[in-house]
């Protein structure tokens, strides 16, 4: 209890110090982002994997939409709260041809995606074929096709159906990817092998950023990877792992921290390589781990509890699925109060947790350069 009080007081003091520092810094005008282009995995997928391989079933989406909306959560994701914060519509998935609106951007993320291509099938391992390089190819095609349609349009009304060509350079480019590279590595590689692979993984993300820069992109908002060792799904299958006081897998979190350390250093190097770019590195790991470490303080229950699904002894029925056990059907249904859970389905965060995290990263509290809110992510510091 004493340690918890000390941690809580420390967080309060740090927050007050940041607030005081922010007051001393002249207010800069907010960026006028006309669009968002997002690249990532299920943490920011708004319908890609659902469109490509079959709709995500109920009760996904129940807390907000209130139906399955292509998101691996009971409601909105961090990318949705980013769009809200910037006054833009929710992003339509590039892969979803139904009900799409790309006027203010597009989402190239797909659940299960990794930065590097993985030699696995999605139906065997859950790893998506839409790796980051493929997402970049999709963006390139989208931009070229959109520009062609714009110049062929006969009137102003037709030209307003999609992004204006000149707006691509003023848009915000967001990244939330890398978790599945680690998850696949935990299965396939030894610890030394995975550690040795991290520089290549990070360099491939940097190559994607560089490519977009060469295409005219200038403002980048790059999330690091979260504490994968704190995902409840990890604890269901790894029984003998070393855990911290919150029940998180120490080795997996250690690898995530190493990935993040190298990613931050590479983003810093990119600032020198891409002189006209504004690159913001966002420490999502620290935001998520702080929430997990202080669940009761923020009104959440045990971070390893899962809201949706049935997990009892050796029976694991994932959210929205069903199975037969001894002649009886067992359903992976939702709990009664998703807003009190951090984990929605054992892998993905609940809408309430996503909103808490968004509120604490969008104001710049976890940004590098320090105190760079997303509304000023177009400005070089």
Higher pLDDT, 223 or 125: 223
Write out pLDDT tens, residues 54-101: 999 999 999 999 999 999 999 999 999 999 999 999 999 999 988 888
Q: What is the mean pLDDT of the chain?
A: 90
Mean pLDDT computed over 271-292: 98
Q: Which pLDDT value is given to residue 291?
A: 98
- Active-site annotation holds for 74: no
Mean pLDDT computed over 153-168: 79
Higher pLDDT, 279 or 126: 279
pTM of the prediction? 0.91
Q: What is each CA distance from 206 to 107, 114, 262, 365, in whole angstroms? A: 19, 14, 11, 23
> Of these residues, 104, 223, 310, 348, which one is catalytic?
348
> Of these residues, 74, 176, 345, 368, which one is catalytic?
345
Asked if residues 111 and 48 have their Cβ atoms less than 8 Å apart, the reply is yes
Mean pLDDT computed over 141-163: 83
Decide if domain 30-297+351-371 falls under CATH 3.40.50.
Answer: yes
Whether residue 25 is predicted with pLDDT greater than 50 in this model: the reply is no
> Of these residues, 42, 113, 293, 367, which one is catalytic?
42
In DSSP notation, 46-61 reads SSHHHHHH-PPPTTTT
Percent of the chain's residues with pLDDT above 70: 90
Q: Which pLDDT value is given to residue 120?
A: 73
- Active-site annotation holds for 345: yes
- Active-site annotation holds for 104: no
Domains in the chain: boundaries = 30-297+351-371
């Amino acid at each position: 209890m004493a340690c918890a009080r000390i941690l809580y007081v420390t967080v309060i003091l740090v927050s007050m110090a940041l607030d005081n520092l922010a007051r001393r810094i002249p207010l800069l005008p907010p960026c006028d982002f006309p669009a968002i282009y997002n690249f990532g995995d299920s943490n920011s997928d708004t319908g890609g994997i659902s469109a490509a391989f079959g709709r995500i079933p109920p009760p996904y989406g129940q807390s907000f939409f209130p139906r399955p909306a292509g998101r691996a959560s009971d409601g909105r994701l961090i990318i949705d709260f980013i769009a809200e914060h910037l006054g833009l519509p929710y992003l339509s998935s590039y892969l979803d041809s139904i009900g799409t609106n790309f006027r203010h951007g597009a989402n190239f993320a797909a659940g299960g995606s990794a930065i590097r291509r993985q030699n696995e099938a999605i139906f065997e391992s859950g790893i998506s074929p839409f790796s980051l390089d493929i997402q970049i190819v999709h963006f390139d095609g989208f931009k070229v096709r959109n520009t062609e349609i714009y110049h062929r349009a006969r009137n102003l009304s037709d030209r307003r159906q999609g992004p204006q060509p000149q707006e691509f350079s003023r848009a915000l480019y967001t990244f939330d990817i890398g978790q599945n590279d680690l998850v696949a590595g935990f299965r396939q590689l030894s610890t030394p092998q995975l550690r040795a692979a991290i520089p290549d993984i990070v360099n491939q993300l940097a190559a994607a950023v560089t490519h977009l820069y060469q295409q005219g992109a200038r403002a980048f908002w790059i999330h690091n990877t979260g504490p994968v060792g704190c995902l409840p799904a990890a604890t269901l299958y790894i029984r003998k792992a070393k855990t911290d006081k919150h029940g998180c897998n120490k080795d997996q979190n250690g690898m995530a921290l190493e990935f993040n350390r190298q990613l931050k250093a590479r983003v810093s190097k990119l600032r020198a390589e891409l002189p006209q770019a504004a690159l913001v590195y966002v420490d999502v790991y620290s935001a998520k781990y702080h929430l997990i470490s202080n669940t009761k303080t923020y009104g959440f229950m045990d971070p390893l509890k899962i809201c949706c699904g049935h997990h009892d002894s050796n029976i694991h029925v994932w959210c929205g699925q069903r199975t037969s056990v001894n002649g009886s059907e067992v359903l992976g249904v939702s709990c009664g109060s998703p807003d009190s859970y951090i984990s929605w389905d054992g892998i993905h965060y609940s809408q309430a947790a996503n909103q808490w995290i968004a509120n604490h990263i969008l104001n710049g509290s976890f940004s590098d350069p320090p105190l760079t809110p997303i509304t000023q992510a177009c400005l070089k510091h």
